[in-house]
Amino acid sequence: MKVKKIVELKSTFSFEAPILKAEGLNSSSMNIAQMFDLNSVLAPNPDSIYLVRVTGESMINEGIFDGDILVVNKSEQPKDGKVVIASLNGEMAVKTYRQIEGKTYLFSANEKFLPIEILPFWQFDIQGVVKHVIHNV
C-alpha cells in the first residue's frame, strides 16, 4: 500500500463534536449529552501527528483500504507487529513492521503480497506508527 498524500496537522487544529443521547427508544429527538474533543483521541499531541491518504490493497486484512486516511504518530518508535509508514528506497509504504531473528521485515496484510526483507544496503526509515484509520462506511 502506497502513501498518496501527506498532511501535517497544525498545533491549533481542533475538532469538537456533540455526543448525542436518544430520549427513549421511540423518540426521534436527540439531545446533546456532552461535547467531545476528537483531538483527545486522534491527535493528543498534534505536533507529532500527521495524516496520509493511501492507495492499494496490500493492507486490507488490517482494515486499511484504498483511499483511507491514516493518523500517524511520527515520534513513536516502531514495535514488532505495529503498522508503520516506511520509507523504502525513496518510496513511502504502509506495512506491518516485524523483527524476526535479528532481521527486519515489512509484511502486507493481504496474502497476495510477499513479505519484504530489509537489506542492509537499502535506504530504509520508519516515518511513523499508524494510530488510527479513517474511512467511509
Model confidence pLDDT, tens digit, residues 86-133: 999 989 999 999 999 999 999 999 999 999 999 999 999 999 999 999
Cell numbers that stand for 124 in this block: 530504509
Domains of the chain: 2-9+46-134 (2.10.109.10)
Active-site amino acid positions: 58, 95
Instruction: Pick 71 or 7 by higher pLDDT.
Output: 71
pLDDT in tens, 55-65: 999 999 999 99
Query: Taking Cα atoms as reference points, which of 95, 90, 93, 117 lies closest to residue 104?
Result: 117
pLDDT at res. 137: 81
Q: Say how far apart CA 23 and CA 40 lie, in whole Å.
A: 27
Global pTM reads 0.78
pLDDT at res. 7: 63
